[in-house]
């Protein structure tokens, strides 16, 4: 029996959290660029659980919370203020395959659960709150006017969500899940540290929960790749006269005209070699050599048919 116990594979289970980002923040933590006034950001990641044996446990709960860190300068001395503000808890159910109906034993295997936490820029949050207050006020006034028998129909000054801001409809329907709402006093460069926790809950009080956590830095600013690169125009040449930028298209008869401008001489035609000093004159206007030295030579033994 002892030999059989030594040959047994050791029991192993692991629970890890992975964040989908290519940026690294302070202390080597993942860095995520959050939302901007015209774009809704999110934290994307996945939870991986693996076990090589049937272990005790229920479904895994994925919970997040946030820490806020602000920097300020007082009397030329930099100070860092740390305080915790919980934006909200979102619980994601991690479905596991159970061996029993009450979910007390998890079947060995590899499990993956992807999650996404949408974020909202502080400016959008402020606009949303002001829109909600305006909507509630207009609704109360409309109810009062409808109750009064002497009320006259008037034009409503209520603004629609699309007219107030274009991002509000998109924000309210992002993935249909809970939305993290930062406070309105955060600056765009404020760093927010989120903590994603994955907890494997045990069904028995004697067994401690199996937990994993991952901290993330979030900056409410666009990513470096999204910043528009300056366009540099390098002219190919600097002509003295303005040149049209339209592309030049050559006609289909261009090769034929070029062949006619440089005629082919017969094989039996003897042509005197023109020296360098006695080369033909070149017209600066047309840039075409005068053929008088070729065809006007009476000593040529051949004849050219016109």
| CATH code where residue 104 lies | 2.60.40.640
Which residue from 227, 128, 137, 131 is spatially nearest to 170, judged by alpha carbons? 128
For residue 35, the enclosing domain spans 11-122+179-222
Residue 282 belongs to a domain: no
First to last CA, the chain: 114
Give the helix/strand (H/E) hosting 2. Answer: helix 2-7
Please state, for a pLDDT cut of 90, what percent of the chain lies above it: 7
Q: Are 199 and 211 in contact (CB under 8 A)?
A: yes
Residue 100 belongs to a domain: yes
Residue 51 belongs to a domain: yes
Percent of the chain that is helix, strand, coil (3-state, to 5): 20, 30, 50
Residue 277 belongs to a domain: no
- Tens digit of pLDDT for each residue in 180-236? 444 434 455 556 677 888 888 887 777 888 889 888 887 777 777 655 544 455 555
Residue 305 belongs to a domain: no
Tally of domains within the chain: 1
**Count of alpha carbons within 13 angstroms of residue 271, beta-carbon side:** 15
The Cβ of residue 75 has, within 10 Å, a number of other Cβ atoms equal to: 5
Residue 109 belongs to a domain: yes
Does pLDDT of 256 surpass 90? no
Residue 281 belongs to a domain: no
- Tens digit of pLDDT for each residue in 69-125? 555 555 566 666 555 555 556 677 788 888 887 778 889 999 998 988 877 555 444
Mean pLDDT of the 41-47 span: 87
Residue 113 belongs to a domain: yes
pLDDT score recorded for residue 14: 92
């Amino acid at each position: 029996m002892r030999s059989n116990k030594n040959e047994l594979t050791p029991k192993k289970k692991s629970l890890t959290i992975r964040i989908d980002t290519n940026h690294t923040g302070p202390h080597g933590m993942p860095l995520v660029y959050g939302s901007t006034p015209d774009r809704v950001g999110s934290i994307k990641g996945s939870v991986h659980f693996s076990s090589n044996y049937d272990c005790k446990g229920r479904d895994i709960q994925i919970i997040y919370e946030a820490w806020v860190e602000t920097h300020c300068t007082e009397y030329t001395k930099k100070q860092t203020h740390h305080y915790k503000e919980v934006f909200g808890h979102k619980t994601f159910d991690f479905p596991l395959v159970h061996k029993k109906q009450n979910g007390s034993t998890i079947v060995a295997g590899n499990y993956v659960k992807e999650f996404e936490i949408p974020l909202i820029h502080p400016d959008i949050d402020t606009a949303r709150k002001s829109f909600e207050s305006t909507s509630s006020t207009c609704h109360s006034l409309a109810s009062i006017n409808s109750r009064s028998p002497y009320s006259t129909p008037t034009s409503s000054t209520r603004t629609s969500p699309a007219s107030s801001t274009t991002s509000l409809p998109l924000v309210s329907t992002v993935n249909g899940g809970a939305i993290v709402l930062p406070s309105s006093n955060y600056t765009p460069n404020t760093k927010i540290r989120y903590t994603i926790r994955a907890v494997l809950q045990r069904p028995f009080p004697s067994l401690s929960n199996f937990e994993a956590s991952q901290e993330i830095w979030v900056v409410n600013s666009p990513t470096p790749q999204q910043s528009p690169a300056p366009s540099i125009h390098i002219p190919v040449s600097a002509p003295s006269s303005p040149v049209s930028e339209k592309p030049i298209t050559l006609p289909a008869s261009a090769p034929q005209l070029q062949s006619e401008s440089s005629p082919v001489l017969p094989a039996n035609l003897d042509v005197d070699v023109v020296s360098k000093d006695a080369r033909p004159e070149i017209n600066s206007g047309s840039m075409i050599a005068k053929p008088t030295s070729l065809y006007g030579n009476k000593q040529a033994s051949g004849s050219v048919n016109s």
